[in-house]
Chains A and B, each alone.
Chain A
């Protein structure tokens, strides 16, 4: 048990991911205010990005741009991959951020339209207003 706790404490990023993910999910599902729902959605999406960046980390590695003698074409075969971080998770993160921003844009547009029509941001109030 103690080892498990110790192992978990050595990986703060994963703990942060779990906390943010569940927190976001909770807000998103339970909160009646629509803008707060979106805040929850944003938290949830960002927590996944945090996980994605975390798995790309290597100890003592640098940015994935060939440096020093590695940049010479003739010696490119001898470079050590362990010196460079994995660029792919970062690329995926960038793409996921774009998707996230687009989602947020569409959802805020919907919320604005709802607010104009019903004068409220609270889902329960709006539903009452309709009935």
Chain B
């Protein structure tokens, strides 16, 4: 059988420092001789939990010792070897190591190492004190220790592991225990079977010791709901593959579909939930204390150090979070480690700054919204006011035209009266002339319709509206409508009104009544401007045309005195008037209406005298298309 031994000697850096300091301070030859301590590992120095115990012990010993400590560490793989007869070379090796050197303390770490030393105690420096560290009290009975021996032992409370799982996850129905297949691990499997399984019911306990690690991972990944994994010890799997330093725990924890619990504090942070744990730190410290007392000359067998038991339960905050376990489930003396600082604690100022910015932004946005709302309300109000002013202007114009309108109404009304009286006369005649009367009644009907048309038209002008009414129409019709109302006024004022409509339709989309108002305003202005003209001199011409860039152009020209050139730009301003009785709003409103309907309005003087007001409107595409 091939035996592989890893032999290692180590001078710790701390020890060197201590030695150097002592050399400088002290002078005596005996004081310069360091205290030699031999640590014996059974698995190799990097196997948990023994490496963790040794680390803690080492650090504490060096720290607490007033004398230089010369630490030797020997790592054997004997724990995985079944046959003790092959151990002779190791014994020989250690003896050779300390030939001519005084050894002060032998420290086997873990039960296998203790067994090795106990087996060879007679050969391995029987006069040197031995201190067993990190074995369980089940493995090293007091009776097996000689006068020169002592032990800092653990007392693993196996049922406490299950209790903890059930406390944290009360619905657990199955617990798979990860344990390896080396002799020491098989021992613990049997201990579980004896101490935990009988009282576990109804929780089902299974052991993964007969699986390779890959198989264990598959099992872990396929664990049913309401189950848990207890990672106890895995130094070597069923295939004999060694796993040092519990690196395998990280892999398992990541792969597992259920929470993973552990056995020792050294596993915390590697993916276990936590709970009551074996205390490697405390063990190391206690062992260091005992070692120092032995080094000072106390008799080992008299020391009787107490067992190292579980401390307060310790949990990994991240794992609790990962599995959604509430901290209220933990006992009140629990310690929660790896608590990530809250986002608030970590990014407090950033959060305050961002929140501040957001608040400021929100305030600005709200402000803008309010402002927008206010502006909308104001715009609506403005539009209504404008509509009111436009309407007032229309009523004013209609008022100014009232005499003409009365005249227009009087024509059909006068006709109706005359017809009616004629019809009466025909019907009262002897014999009654019924045929004639019938003709007359037909005429009465026609004139009545004419009168009602005038009234409808007038009502359209006087009707108060809140919003513009957009519609499609032929602009020539608007001219006809307007002339019907303005015509009599022109006649009355002695103005010769002529209309030149463009050939063909002038499709326009806009507010028909308002656009009619524009022409009325312009025409009334023109008529007023020609009041000073002699009889037969007042001539007004209303013309419509389609321009080359497809716009409807309307011009209202008069033969008055024209507009002073310096006022051409001002006449569309509100409250600008040259008339004694004007409001100065007519042209301003005309401009507003034209611009609202997408057009442009301007004034110019005619070469032959008189003013000409023109405006354009876009041709409606809906009709032309």
Partners in one complex: no
Which residues of B does A touch, CB under 8 Å?
A: none
